[in-house]
Amino acid sequence: MYNLTGRRIVLGVAGSIAAYKAVDLASQLTQMGARVDTVLTEAAGRFVTPLSFTSVTGRPAYTDMFAASETAPELHVQLGHQAELVLVAPATATTLARLALGMAEDLLSLTALCTRAPLVVCPAMDAYMWEHPATQDNVARLRQRGALVVGPEVGRLASGHVGPGRLAERETILGAVRHALGQRYGDLQGKRIVVTAGGTQEPIDPVRYVGNHSSGKMGYAVAEAGRDRGAQVTLVTAPTALPDPYGVQVVRVRTACEMRDAVLEACRDAHALVMAAAVADFRPAVSAPQKIKRGTAEALTLELVRNPDILGELKDVEGLVKVGFAAETQDLVANAEKKLREKDLDLIVANDVTAPGSGFGADTNKVVILDRSGKREELPIMGKYEVAWHVLDRVAGLLEGRKT
């Protein structure tokens, strides 16, 4: 389940050595549910074949606009008319120039000209070509017209030089596609959502901290699902090993106190807050300025003091939809209901962290969603992204109800 499901995407491939990476992109987009039609420039056909794309998409791949017209006379314009998103990856300097100037010299540039769908372009070329004012002017024009330009990244290029010109990473491109689709078709457009993730770290000294097992995956999944549905998402995250999701504003924090400050700030003009972070309830009373040495001590006693309850501090914020998470090891529903009441939440997502497939770091979760009215929605075990989607369905319903 992604916002790509059933979407008609035209993948334009231009003639760069990075063209081979487009086969993987086509495969990923297809696996995420999109219907991908590929259009290759003549130069792209020197690096990869239409058959490579047809093999992974199960759909036609085109190169020649005249040959295409022989089988279906309107095809040369139909691709553009029917597309819901046009992704050009890799985009060479020549293709960028054609797109910027509105030339329709080949099927790819023609398709980009006769579509009204969002355009995502991912440049890949030699660094000198990328940095040339001609290319920079073309890119600026495309941006000005609303195209999303993703990359290029700095790295080792085919020429052996190191510089800007590498095709953006696969995850970045897929994130940009989902972001662009959300901006055009999402049901949470115009909504500002704050999401927290990860486990806070409370310093003992400069090298040690009190922490927990949260991986951050659930919160990141909520942030991505919000983005995919068109919301403007701010992700306040404690340290995690996860990459920044494309199109999400990421605010990095470490401690519960830092998270509190960042969340209060971000919630000032937000419509909803989803607190998926595992916030430490206590922190060391003092954080030693220098590393604590082992010395000859047989024991070390840490004094812990209470951290602020972030959700508790937002009780008086009017109109904000508040969602909490309750990770429990016993009495799941009773404990979650108590938190829902005490923290004055609209929803609480409860999960038993000892259940199989539900623990910290897992890619799946099995949750029960409870609301103020006492209704319980028990979901089967599913991917964290799917859980996030269900939670946002409920948030969308609450936001709809709050419209006056």
> Which residues have a catalytic role annotated?
212
What H or E segment, with its residue span, contains residue 326? strand 321-328
- Are 391 and 399 contacting, i.e. CB atoms less than 8 angstroms apart? no
The least CB distance from residue 249 to ligand CTP, in Å, is: 19
Nearer to ligand CTP (CB atom), residue 311 or residue 321 = 311
CA atoms within 13 A on the CB side of 197: 30
The least CB distance from residue 200 to ligand CTP, in Å, is: 8
- Are 231 and 399 contacting, i.e. CB atoms less than 8 angstroms apart? no
- Are 304 and 285 contacting, i.e. CB atoms less than 8 angstroms apart? yes
The amino acid at residue 170 is R
* Farthest-apart Cα atoms in the chain, separation: 87
| Neighbouring-strand partners of residue 205 | 208
- Are 180 and 118 contacting, i.e. CB atoms less than 8 angstroms apart? yes
Site residues for ligand CTP per CB under 6 A = 256, 275, 277, 279, 281, 307, 309-311, 324-327, 339
The least CB distance from residue 61 to ligand CTP, in Å, is: 47
Nearer to ligand CTP (CB atom), residue 21 or residue 343 = 343
Nearer to ligand CTP (CB atom), residue 9 or residue 263 = 263
The least CB distance from residue 227 to ligand CTP, in Å, is: 20
Tokens of 38: 């590929």
The burial of 234, by beta-carbon neighbours within 10 Å (0-12 exposed, 13-18 middle, 19 or more buried), is given as: buried
Nearer to ligand CTP (CB atom), residue 148 or residue 310 = 310
Count of CB atoms situated within 10 Å of the CB of 94: 20
Residue with tokens 């995850």: 171
Nearer to ligand CTP (CB atom), residue 341 or residue 375 = 341
The C-alpha atoms of residue 133 and residue 117 are separated, in whole angstroms, by 27
| Neighbouring-strand partners of residue 121 | 88, 149
